[in-house]
Amino acid sequence: MKNTLDHAALAEEFNKDEDRVDWHDGALWWIRQKRDRAANQTPQWEELREAASAIKANVISNLHDYLIQFEENLKKNGVKVYWAADAEEHNQIVYSILKDKDIKQMVKSKSMLTEECHLNEYLEERGIEVINSDLGEYIQQIDNEPPSHIVLPCIHKRKEEIGELFHDHLGTEKGLSDPTLLTRVARKHLNNVFLTRRAALTGVNFAVAETGEYVVCTNEGNADMGAHLSDVQIASMGLEKIIPERKHLGVFLRLLARSAIGQPITIYSSHYKKPRPGQEMHLILVDKGRSDLLARPDFRDSLKCIKCGACMNTCPVYRKSGGLSYHNTISGPIGAILAPNLDMKQHADLPFASTLCGSCSNVCPVKIPIHDQLYKWRQEIVRLGYSANRKTFSMKAMALTLSSPEIYNTAGKTGRWLLNNAPFAINNKFNPWYKQRDMPDSSQQSFGEWYAKNGSKTK
């Protein structure tokens, strides 16, 4: 999914349809409000966030030993364990598991990690069909578009558009757009998929080091439908999904769905521990940049993320530009702090796609200081040379101006003079401010000048 456009350009495109922006913005703001209601109904909510943050801090500080413990317990439980350093290795492992059993079709429930690894494309290229069973992800799959939101994959689509897709791919009648009816059609179609696929792949929401079990959370039940009918069950997880003990699930399961969509718990929170008799269970632990992130003191806290999407729902920039403007599997505020670690060249624009308002940090259930990290990434990106040269030039000019009162005062005077006497010099199409806003009214004198004349008279 390469693209040559940056967030600003994609966001501008998105904003050409103001009605759609309003609708998208309203839908996500409503979810933010649901989250607020759920949080306010939960006693000790802020303490819960603090505990979750502290548990994840402990995990990050002891990740190595927890991973060893987890692996040991997985093996005791009869699960086959694999380690993958990057996307390529991960995809290869999945492929070899399937090839070994001569399996040509697989059903998949939500896994952002496998999206990041582009697993579906990898397998399709090698003759293995993969179907996304989560309704939102299924819709995106048949439209050949990545998910725009990690929890609500097609939040940017209108029901009429989805109806069109169903008409083209599932043979529903033209013009059908009722969500219930469309969902029933998908239910029937995917039910057949579950019953006929011998392999199922799931993501992992939480992996318990103490017991070797892992938890998968869905509202649709698609993970369980796939897994319990499969002969081969595969789970892909990022290293950071570990939590120390089973009892800690209480903290995270109380926070996850409330933060994500304002529900007290996802409908299904399934704890997978051992394979069914006659079934194989495989689990792949994936690094893909996580151990690099671990080494960065300014940014390692982003590994605490439990992928709830609350930051996306609250972010006004996200709501008014859409997840696809971030050109990264994980979009929004958390995406903007994870992506530069993975590929700074491609994602250098993301930390700047923000006003640093700080709302994201406040809704984050594990208290990642997202807006602080966005600021720090900006420094990092400039330091490593990923900032445009002319920007550096103008910044140096600004630094010079602001460190010299004389130059500053002259610059201010000149600017005001131009606004008053030669507005065309500033009010033109080369001035992005001027596109949809008037310039500020310029006064005849600055405060500095006023004070110089009147300052001693005031008391």
Partner 1 sequence: MKIGLFIPCYVNQLYPNAAIATLELLQKLGAEVVYPARQTCCGQPMANSGYEHLTQSCNDLFVENFSGFDYIVAPSASCVLHVKDHLHTHTNEKAATEIRGKIYELVEFLTDILKIEKLDAHFPHKVGIHQSCHGLRGLHLAQMSELVAPAFSKPRQLLKMVNGLELTEIERADECCGFGGLFCIAEEAVSVKMGKDRIADHTKNGAEYITSPDLSCLMHMEGILHRNKSNVKIIHIAEILNSSPIKA
Partner 2 sequence: MAAVKKNQPPLTILPDISIFQVHEVDIVKKYSDVFTGIGGLLVSAGSLANVKDQIRLNFDQNKRIFTTIPSLSDVAELCDPQADPHSLFDVELAIVEARLAVAENGAVWVTEDVMGHRILPYIAQHLAVLVYEDRIVSTMHDAYSKIGSEDYGFGGFIGGPSKTADIEQALVLGAHGPLSMTVYLIN
Site for partner 2 in 144-203 (CB under 8 A): 152-155, 157-159, 162, 179-180, 182-184, 187, 190-191, 194-195
Round to whole Å and give the CA distance between 63 and 265: 27
Which residue, 64 or 99, is less far from partner 2 as judged by CB? 64
Which residue, 324 or 353, is less far from partner 2 as judged by CB? 324
Write the CB contacts of 43 (distance below 8 Å, at least 6 apart in sequence). Answer: none
284-303: contacts with partner 2 (CB under 8 A):
287, 291-292, 294-295, 297, 300
Q: Of 30, 48, 29, which is closest to residue 40 (Cα–Cα)?
A: 48
Round to whole Å and give the CA distance between 350 and 369: 16
Name the DSSP class of 351: G
* Cβ–Cβ < 8 Å for 234, 282: yes
200-219: contacts with partner 2 (CB under 8 A):
211, 219
Q: Of 100, 71, 67, which is closest to residue 280 (Cα–Cα)?
A: 100
| Residue 19 binding target from partner 2, partner 1, none, CB below 5 to 8 Å by type | none
| Residue 317 binding target from partner 1, partner 2, none, CB below 5 to 8 Å by type | partner 1
| Residue 55 binding target from partner 1, partner 2, none, CB below 5 to 8 Å by type | partner 2
**Nearest distance, CB of residue 425 and partner 1, angstroms:** 16
Helix, strand, or coil (residue 281): strand
**Nearest distance, CB of residue 442 and partner 1, angstroms:** 6
Residue type at position 287: D
Q: Which of 18, 22, 50, 168 binds partner 2 (CB under 8 A)?
A: 50
Q: Which range in 77-85, 250-258, 287-295, 376-384 contacts partner 1 by CB under 8 A?
A: 376-384
**Nearest distance, CB of residue 91 and partner 1, angstroms:** 35
Q: Is the dihedral of CA 27, 29, 35, 41 positive or negative?
A: negative
Q: Of 254, 209, 225, which is closest to residue 62 (Cα–Cα)?
A: 209
| Residue 389 binding target from partner 2, partner 1, none, CB below 5 to 8 Å by type | none
Which residue, 37 or 101, is less far from partner 2 as judged by CB? 37
68-97: contacts with partner 2 (CB under 8 A):
83
Q: Where are the alpha helices (DSSP H) in 62-178?
A: 63-76, 87-100, 112-116, 119-125, 135-142, 159-170
Round to whole Å and give the CA distance between 108 and 199: 9
115 binding partner 2? (CB under 8 A): no
Q: Of 366, 307, 361, 357, which is closest to residue 335 (Cα–Cα)?
A: 307
Could you tell me whether strands 214-218 and 268-272 are parallel, antiparallel, or unpaired per DSSP bridges?
Answer: antiparallel
**Nearest distance, CB of residue 415 and partner 1, angstroms:** 7
* Cβ–Cβ < 8 Å for 350, 7: yes
429-448: contacts with partner 1 (CB under 8 A):
432-433, 435-443, 445-448
Rg (CA), the chain: 26
Round to whole Å and give the CA distance between 185 and 177: 11
Question: What track of x and - describes contact with partner 2 for positions 260 through 279 (by CB under 8 A)?
Answer: -x-xxxxxxxxxxxxxx---
136 binding partner 2? (CB under 8 A): yes
Q: Which range in 163-171, 172-180, 221-229, 357-365 contacts partner 1 by CB under 8 A?
A: 357-365
* Measured CA distances, 64 to 204, 205, 294, 368 (Å): 18, 19, 11, 21
**Nearest distance, CB of residue 362 and partner 2, angstroms:** 20
381 binding partner 1? (CB under 8 A): yes
Which residue, 265 or 450, is less far from partner 1 as judged by CB? 450
Q: Which of 57, 103, 142, 344 binds partner 2 (CB under 8 A)?
A: 57
263-322: contacts with partner 1 (CB under 8 A):
314, 316-317, 320-321
181 binding partner 1? (CB under 8 A): no
